[in-house]
Amino acid sequence: MTNGEVPTGGLTHLRITLSETAYVGPGRADLLELIGQTGSISAAGKAMGMSYKRAWGLVQALNEGFGRPLVESSRGGASQGGAQLTASGRLVLEHYRAMQDKTRQAIAQDVAALRQAFDMSGKK
Amino acid sequence: MTNGEVPTGGLTHLRITLSETAYVGPGRADLLELIGQTGSISAAGKAMGMSYKRAWGLVQALNEGFGRPLVESSRGGASQGGAQLTASGRLVLEHYRAMQDKTRQAIAQDVAALRQAFDMSGKK
């Protein structure tokens, strides 16, 4: 995960589970965002150090888990086609980023209090 | 982790990283809470389906990572002694539970909006 990385806000992992098959955490959100940015499952996976097979599997798990496509792709053999977020995919990503922001705000005082209590205030 | 479990509030994993060595997530918090309740690292680990060795290793990682003991134990060979939370341990646990509650409140509207958008409102 993100051990070793110390964000100022303290939040390193937020997973939201909506149903028995639908959840989103930082890795899934990053993959969705990168697919939206690159237009490619392969490029998005590569940016996260993932094989195409693994990135494709994650996209399938997202699409099936949410009961409708979050990512649409024209999978084309060697060319590996293009991909884009659907409106549903953008909705999930936007809400997830909003939830991260709201969580950082909600926990800020507790994070600060703990860092102060353990003399970690000087560390990032 | 907690896949398969669908809490009403939607939050299934919250990890807070305070420094390069100190973080707390749901598993560590549950272990601290159970040690406080049972007075025993072994019993707390067992309640979480963990070996004593693994539970003990986690306690050591917590104590070292936070730079002071969160759990004090009188490790006694076969008897495996007793254990209790220190004031620092109670502080970490209390702040973590508070952050979980605050996060659930902060994300409630987004969780509800996503469940509605994906027709998951009827599911737990």
Beta-carbon contacts below 8 Å between A and B: 134
pLDDT of residue B2: 41
Q: Pick from A28, A86, A104, A114 the residue to mutate for testing the B interface (most B CBs within 10 Å).
A: A114
pTM, whole model, 2 decimals? Answer: 0.90
Average pLDDT of the segment spanning B33-52: 96
pLDDT at residue B76 is higher than 60: no
Assign B31 to helix, strand or coil.
helix
Average pLDDT of the segment spanning B17-22: 97
**What distance in Å separates the CA atoms of residue A121 and residue B10, rounded to the nearest whole number?**
31
pLDDT at residue A3 is higher than 60: no
Say which CATH topology domain B22-116 has.
Arc Repressor Mutant, subunit A (1.10.10)
Of A95, A106, A115, the CB nearest to B106: A106
Q: Is B95 on the interface with A (CB under 8 A)?
A: yes
**What distance in Å separates the CA atoms of residue B72 and residue B21, rounded to the nearest whole number?**
19
**What distance in Å separates the CA atoms of residue B9 and residue A23, rounded to the nearest whole number?**
13
DSSP string, B91-108: HHHHHHHHHHHHHHHHHH
What are A47-60's pLDDT values in tens digits?
A: 999 999 999 999 99
Domain extents in chain A: 22-117
pLDDT of residue B5: 80
Q: Pick from A13, A88, A123 the residue to mutate for testing the B interface (most B CBs within 10 Å).
A: A13
Average pLDDT of the segment spanning B72-89: 80
pLDDT at residue A124 is higher than 60: no
What are B92-102's pLDDT values in tens digits?
A: 999 999 999 99
For chain B, percent of residues with pLDDT exceeding 70: 89
Assign B11 to helix, strand or coil.
strand
For chain A, percent of residues with pLDDT exceeding 90: 85
Task: Give yes or no for a contact between A16 and B12, defined as CB atoms under 8 angstroms apart.
Answer: yes
Architecture of domain A22-117 in CATH? Answer: Orthogonal Bundle (1.10)
Q: Which residue has the higher pLDDT, B91 or A124?
A: B91
Q: Is B92 on the interface with A (CB under 8 A)?
A: yes
DSSP string, B50-110: --HHHHHHHHHHHHHHHTS-SEEE---GGG---EEE-HHHHHHHHHHHHHHHHHHHHHHHH
Tokens representing A124 are: 């990032």
**What distance in Å separates the CA atoms of residue B49 and residue B99, rounded to the nearest whole number?**
25
pLDDT band at B61 (very low <50, low <70, confident <90, very high): very high
